[in-house]
Amino acid sequence: MLTNLHQQPADALLALIKLHNADPRADKIDLGVGVYRTGEGDTPVFGAIKAAERKLVEEQDSKAYLGPEGDMGFVEALMPYVFGKESPDMGGRIEGMQTPGGTGSLRIALAVAKRAGIRRVIVGVPSWPNHAQICADLGLDVVEFNHATQAGHTDMDALRGALANVVEGDAILLHGCCHNPTGIDYSHAEWDEIAQLLSQNKVLPILDLAYQGLGNGMEEDAYGLRRVLVAVPEALISYSCDKNFGLYRDRVGALYVMAAAGEDLPRMMSNAHSLARANWSQPPDHGAAAVRLILEDEGLTAQWLDELDQMRDRMRQVRATLAAAGKAGAVDLTAFGGQNGLFSIVPISKEQVLEMREKHGIYMAGSGRINVAGLTMGNIDKFVAAVAEVTA
């Protein structure tokens, strides 16, 4: 029977890692996989995480199962940072659970939405490829609209048009901040309008907050999510700690459900828990426990936030340097300075992407998406010169 399986294409980014690793050139540049890198090209473990892990090793007295909801201390400790310190549970209307990374959270969010009667998910494109892939695997139809204009701004007209055509049984998936792959985020004024539009129809918002703190700050990056939640009766929120705590391989995430009334939450969460039980039974403990220990300790929290500030400042420095370079051949890099997070798209063709790789040892996704943290003050001039050459 297993011979009936069809060969699946290799993941393009994972294939890119192998190509980069096999390249013998000393000055090669990896702009592919989306992990933070320091100015020296490393992806370090946060000092706050190391301290929390030492404490965890010394104090943890059991490896017993947690249950499908995971570490609820972790889930609750995150809530003031996600939803605000004044009323993090929106008056008893929000409850959450731990998941294996943001991907696990999105999987359960979309599966819960399908159980609730959602048939279509409206998604701005380009988007993170796994959004469409998870929807397809669950049998949900994806309805696309343009996220950004050719000029590099959010396409509010396209979003307005998409929301004007929603019907009951639709959900809309929105990036909370640091849009992947474009880095082009909605302004506060645009989020205000989006919240108003969402309040006028029955579409279910699914908010993907995978990069809080990597854009403009923890509070600033939560503006859009919080604005939407005030305006709508219910929503699903997918959260990842993989990036803002540097816990990539530990897969640390959370799913939050906001209900119109608190008494509805037990029924909603029972569905999320049963789906988790069928998928992974219970999430891995270590990374979430480390995050919980950080957020329970004022000193460790301050250390983590300082390390996060340093990450954000370095990416801002890279973006400012790219913007200052101005035109590189046919590509205007000035817009990179106003974008947020790890990712941006260089508007070049697949053939030019291949030329960047073969002639200059610069590895990036075929779409032109780059991880800006792969650029340093030591290699950024090489990158700008290569873009200028292939687009001249």
Q: Which residues are catalytic?
A: 128, 208, 243
- The strand pair at 141-146 and 120-125 is best described as parallel
**Please, which residues have CB within 8 angstroms of residue 9's CB and are 6 or more apart in sequence?**
none
Closest listed residue to residue 321, CA positions, set 303, 342, 336, 340:
336
Q: What token pair was written down for 107?
A: 């999987």
Q: What token pair was written down for 147?
A: 């996220």
Phi, psi dihedrals of residue 209, rounded to the nearest 5°: -110, 85
- CA dist 392 and 390 (Å) reads 6
Beta bridge partners of 369: 345
| HEC string for the chain | CHHHCCCCCCCHHHHHHHHHHHCCCCCCEECCCCCCCCCCCCCCCCHHHHHHHHHHHHHCCCCCCCCCCCCHHHHHHHHHHHHCCCCCCCCCCEEEEEEEHHHHHHHHHHHHHHHCCCCEEEEEECCCHHHHHHHHHHCCEEEEEECECCCCCECHHHHHHHHHCCCCCEEEEEECCCCCCCCCCCCHHHHHHHHHHHHCCCCEEEEEECCCCCCCCHHHHCHHHHHHHHHCCCEEEEEECCCCCCCHHHCEEEEEEECCCHHHHHHHHHHHHHHHHHHCCCCCCHHHHHHHHHHCCHHHHHHHHHHHHHHHHHHHHHHHHHHHHCEECCEECHHHHHCCCCEEECCCCHHHHHHHHHHHCEECCCCCEEEHHHCCCCCHHHHHHHHHHHHC
Q: How many CA within 13 A on the CB side of residue 349?
A: 7
